[in-house]
Structure 1
Amino acid sequence: MGPGEVAAILFGTFAVLVFLRVPVAFALGLAVVPVFFIEERLTPVLLMREMFKSYNAFVLLAVPFFLLAANLMNSSGITDRLIRVARAMVGHLPGGLGHVNVVVSMLFAGISGSSTADAAGIGSLLIPQMKKEGYDSSFTVAITACSSVMGVIIPPSILMVVWGGLMSVSIGGLFLAGVIPGILIAGSQMLTVYVYAKRRGYPVHDRSTLRELVRAVAGAFLALMTPLIIVGGIVWGFFTPTEASVIAVFYSLILGLFVYRSVTLPELPKVLYDSARFAAITLFCIGTASAFGWCLAYFKIPAALVGMIEQMGLGVFGTGIMAAAAFLLFGMFIDAIPAIIIVGTVLFPVTQHVGMHPIHFAIIGVVSLAFGLVTPPYGLCLLIAASIGRIRLIDALRDVAIILLPMVVVLMIVIALPDLILALPRWVMPKFIQ
């Protein structure tokens, strides 16, 4: 069988299974079974072998630990402290709570690395408050879901850890490269909130005094130190990303149990259980996606794609557009980590061929996949926010689309200006980032 035939079988079977509502993790594994039976040189046992090989990666230990750290942060009341800081900073702007929503998501992203934890933790606190103050339910759910995507863009990011481990890209460099896109996305969302507030007459709060701001920052100071400890430790070589995730867990535990005293020992088993459950789902997806990706590589589908791109004559910008479109499409249907394993590993040789920097390609992929967290049918963050807001998902789609429009502009900036994205990594890590 040629690369085209295998690709048609793999993606065709996967599409049919997803349409039949087979869970994505199982659909990815089942999609490779027909190929293993058709090709004489392969056996179904290889499916299990490739899955177990993918789990034998030290860097993947960071996934459950970062998820646990995020859940501990939510349980320890750190989200409340971050909201007070955000309110003191931007609460006086038109549509104050909308701006608070964006800024607190930005701050929480620098602590958790998880968008779902962001949507659940911040949404449970801010969505009822915003609705009580007269914000439309659809807008409240939409801005909560869209702002939570910064969790996978602003460092530390679980997606960047997985990407760096899979494709041997500097995780410290990826973390630094995510800072500017994260700030641009936050700015685009705050601009959208401002326009909404002016058009719909959303409430404005009194400006906080300098003393109130200092008091709020002091109350959340230890929590705000988390990104500095994690990202700084990785960038400056004090510990690996996996070690950083363990440090994040211990730091969150110490804050919750002994400093803020907002977490009790009887509550810990539930936090551990929830973290283990989400980590198990994610890691099972990684296993089946790795088997799917191995099958693509075995039949030289990436090499065939490189040949097609070469004939099309696409440069860095054109390849970036193509990559973003692929990630946007896949992100609508499957979780981001399996999408990285499948789409990222297939397109990586293509981007190398046209001379795209590996970190630039990674940031395009991560930002594009972030859209999938709020776009149906997958749209996990949107599902969480709609559930908290007690509205139908379809009722929030119009406002989600409006908020995403300026974010698409940010994505185009990321694609068109690689030097802007790479400026911070090159400045901080000149020996490692060329």
Structure 2
Amino acid sequence: MHPVTAIPASPWLARCDTVLGYLTEIPAALLVLAEICVLFAGVASRYVFHTPIIWADELASLLFLWLAMFGAAVAFRRGSHMRMTAFVDKARPDTRSFLDLLAIVAALTYLVLIVHPAYDFAVEEMMVTLPAMDISNVWRASAIPVGVGLILAMALVRLASFANRKLAVMVVVAAALLVGALVALQPVLAGLGNLNLLIFFVGVVGLLVFSGVPIAFAFGLATLGYIGLTTSTPVGVVIGRMDEGMSHLILLAVPMFVFLGLLIEMTAMAKAMVDFLASLLGHVKGGLSYVLIAAMYLVSGISGSKAADMAAVAPVLFPEMKRRGFKDGEMVALLSASGAQTETIPPSLVLITIGSVTGISIADLFTGGLLPGVVLAVMLGIVVWWRCRRNTQAVDRKATWRVIGKTLVIAVPALALPFVIRAAVIEGVATATEVSTIGIVYSVFVGFFIYRKFDWRRVWPALVETAALSGAILLIIGAATGMAWALTQSGFSRQLAEVMTHLPGGAMGFLAVSIVAFIVLGSVLEGIPAIVLFGPLLFPIAKQLGIHDVQYAMVVVLAMGIGLFAPPFGVGYYAACAISRISPSEGLKPIAGYMLALTVGTVLIALIPWLSIGFLR
């Protein structure tokens, strides 16, 4: 989300903006630092001293929601919330200015509508006690109304800073009248049944997203409209679902890996790794694209979050890729596609969820997930080769073995990082959430004592940047979780299962429709909610049709991954853009070829069962 103006117009507004900056950036940075300390202390106490801190996870969860909301506020002030600007960028200056204003008013409308329900939610949580810490849950839940209030204040400052005050007032009045008209039409909308799903989750979301409204606020407005205008469910329930979506402790890996990525670059570890990889593939056209695909395959599943995986890889490779002439859109498109490619790589949370809700052996799912990831990596590699065969991107002369050996020796401490992280998970030293802190401590040690490069002046900006980037991602996830819950309550899931039971074409027809259906579902529900919702309904149908459980799981997971990382609705795509600091509009054209390749690969896995079950005992 681009700021309307870089600096508020009047001195008074400038002071307000500065104060809001201090009120959000300082706590956000300190919260990132506190989370690192709490998580690492939990690992050390449990593994080294054999005296687990029983309240560590509760404290981490409490601090995490505050980090998410303060980070979202920092991102709003910086104008870094993700928005689709494909049409905004091509518009005339006056139209672009109007769309920027519309984005602010839409965000303001959403914030005004949820500020009171957010306060009520926090008050209700006052009666809940956190068992390990023995304090009221209001200490955690208050983060939502406080964060909403801060972003609301920032939106008002941003609105007051708009140059054309008359137009600003007109758009605000128009938004208020539109909300009033929709409330007046509530009886009509309530009688439309599931047609409202198309109206709100396709029509409204599509209109807002392509108008340049930040993704999180577009999702949130559509969900509020559907719940408030077409059902009898209290709007406050949306806040609970938002809290649920943003509070999964596994998502704490996102800010940790974002900071780890910044730390790797800060300590010269990234340069050492890139120098070695460049010595191997620098003479190959598109060589670092292949490195990106392979790197995502290797780190996938370490954190349990695709956003965290991307945050660990992108900061290492993107600066060198830019130096070699790669375009921003091509890089973010490949990063997003490689996120979808690695959805089946163990240990995958989606595969674990499938096993838990369907009874399929998780060991079989892990075994079956390795080869499909390779198949999709090959498909992406083919697209990279095709696009790079005539490119004039900078390539180096083929390095000698002596140069390769020298760069390898220098890079060994840096290259050891993913192995240290993976060993910590496999050996049970740390959970998927905690393991990033081991990487952070390792990186600090290597930076200080081996590479001797650690700039203290860059630590604070890195903490603030981590909070802002994480907040932007987590707010999208929270809004998407609310939307997923609304779809669940509509009965849409059971209706879909009923239709798919009676499809023509037998097993192949069922697989074909499953691919299409889960691409769509993945774009709005993400992996775990979609599996919990549809897994128990559809897996028995697949088994009746003679489709192996593991094969069907691979097809479903990969299809959902394509939906999750495909624009314009895929949350994963916007996470990739946020991590890369690249506008979503840049990647729209190049990502199409990669998504086609992933779809072809998924079809191959559907047609050839051996690719999924060939290594099962």
Classify 1:339/1:197 alpha carbon distance in 2 versus 1 (closer, same or farther; 3 Å): closer
Partner of 1:214: 405
SS in 2 for 1:263: coil
Partner of 2:318: 123
Is residue 344–residue 373 contact of structure 2 (8 Å, CA) maintained in 1?
Answer: no
Is residue 106–residue 151 contact of structure 1 (8 Å, CA) maintained in 2?
Answer: no
Aligned partner of 2:239 among 32, 48, 51: 48
Aligned partner of 2:253 among 28, 49, 62: 62
Classify 1:210/1:351 alpha carbon distance in 2 versus 1 (closer, same or farther; 3 Å): farther
Q: Partner letter of residue 102 of structure 1?
A: Y
Aligned partner of 1:286 among 456, 477, 480: 477
Q: CA deviation at 1:250?
A: 2.7
Classify 1:315/1:50 alpha carbon distance in 2 versus 1 (closer, same or farther; 3 Å): farther
Aligned partner of 1:226 among 409, 414, 417: 417
Q: CA deviation at 1:222?
A: 3.0
Q: Which runs of 5+ in 1 are unaligned?
A: 132-136, 428-434
Is residue 257–residue 311 contact of structure 2 (8 Å, CA) maintained in 1?
Answer: no
Partner of 2:557: 362
Is residue 331–residue 373 contact of structure 1 (8 Å, CA) maintained in 2?
Answer: no
Q: CA deviation at 1:305?
A: 0.9
Classify 1:273/1:109 alpha carbon distance in 2 versus 1 (closer, same or farther; 3 Å): farther
Matched residues in 1 for 2:220 and 2:366: separation?
A: 31
Q: CA deviation at 1:116?
A: 5.9
Is residue 13–residue 31 contact of structure 1 (8 Å, CA) maintained in 2?
Answer: yes
Matched residues in 2 for 1:317 and 1:409: separation?
A: 15
Question: How many percent of aligned residue pairs carry the same amino acid?
Answer: 21
Classify 1:243/1:320 alpha carbon distance in 2 versus 1 (closer, same or farther; 3 Å): farther
Matched residues in 1 for 2:410 and 2:193: separation?
A: 58
Q: CA deviation at 1:310?
A: 0.8
Matched residues in 1 for 2:384 and 2:244: separation?
A: 46
Partner of 1:107: 295
Partner of 1:8: 198
Classify 1:403/1:297 alpha carbon distance in 2 versus 1 (closer, same or farther; 3 Å): closer
Matches within 5 A, 1:328-339: 328=519, 339=526
Ranked by relative contact order (alpha carbons within 8 Å, sequence separation 6 or more), the top structure is 1
The answer as to 2:216 corresponding to 1:21 is no
SS in 2 for 1:242: coil
Is residue 177–residue 359 contact of structure 1 (8 Å, CA) maintained in 2?
Answer: no
Q: CA deviation at 1:247?
A: 2.5
Partner of 1:432: none
Classify 1:111/1:10 alpha carbon distance in 2 versus 1 (closer, same or farther; 3 Å): same
Matched residues in 2 for 1:367 and 1:168: separation?
A: 23
Matched residues in 2 for 1:23 and 1:117: separation?
A: 24
Q: Partner letter of residue 559 of structure 2?
A: I
149-158 or 283-292: bigger deviation: 149-158
The answer as to 2:352 corresponding to 1:352 is no
SS in 2 for 1:220: helix
Q: Partner letter of residue 64 of structure 1?
A: P
Classify 1:383/1:345 alpha carbon distance in 2 versus 1 (closer, same or farther; 3 Å): same
The answer as to 2:263 corresponding to 1:72 is yes
Matched residues in 1 for 2:460 and 2:354: separation?
A: 31
**TM-score w.r.t. structure 2 length?**
0.54
Q: CA deviation at 1:44?
A: 1.2
RMSD between aligned residues: 4.4
Q: Deviations over 1:106-145 (max 9, x none)?
A: 33664584436644542322222x23xxxxx6xx556533
Q: CA deviation at 1:372?
A: 4.1
**TM-score w.r.t. structure 1 length?**
0.73
Classify 1:236/1:387 alpha carbon distance in 2 versus 1 (closer, same or farther; 3 Å): closer
Matched residues in 2 for 1:206 and 1:369: separation?
A: 39
Q: CA deviation at 1:274?
A: 1.2
Classify 1:92/1:306 alpha carbon distance in 2 versus 1 (closer, same or farther; 3 Å): same
Q: CA deviation at 1:306?
A: 0.5
Q: CA deviation at 1:295?
A: 1.9
Classify 1:420/1:365 alpha carbon distance in 2 versus 1 (closer, same or farther; 3 Å): same
Q: Deviations over 1:204-239 (max 9, x none)?
A: 654433333333333222333333333444355443
Q: Partner letter of residue 226 of structure 1?
A: L
Aligned length: 406
Matched residues in 2 for 1:368 and 1:320: separation?
A: 16
Partner of 1:306: 497
Partner of 1:134: none
Matches within 5 A, 1:29-428: 29-38=220-229, 41-93=232-284, 95=285, 98-104=286-292, 106-107=294-295, 110-111=298-299, 113-115=308-310, 118-119=313-314, 121-128=316-323, 130-131=324-325, 140-141=327-328, 143-149=330-336, 150-151=338-339, 153-154=341-342, 160-161=348-349, 179-195=370-386, 198-199=389-390, 205-235=396-426, 237-313=428-504, 318-326=509-517, 328=519, 339-340=526-527, 346-353=533-540, 354-355=542-543, 356-357=549-550, 359-360=553-554, 361-372=556-567, 393=586, 397=589, 401-402=592-593, 405-417=596-608, 419-421=610-612
Q: Partner letter of residue 335 of structure 2?
A: S
SS in 1 for 2:452: coil
Is residue 273–residue 411 contact of structure 2 (8 Å, CA) maintained in 1?
Answer: yes
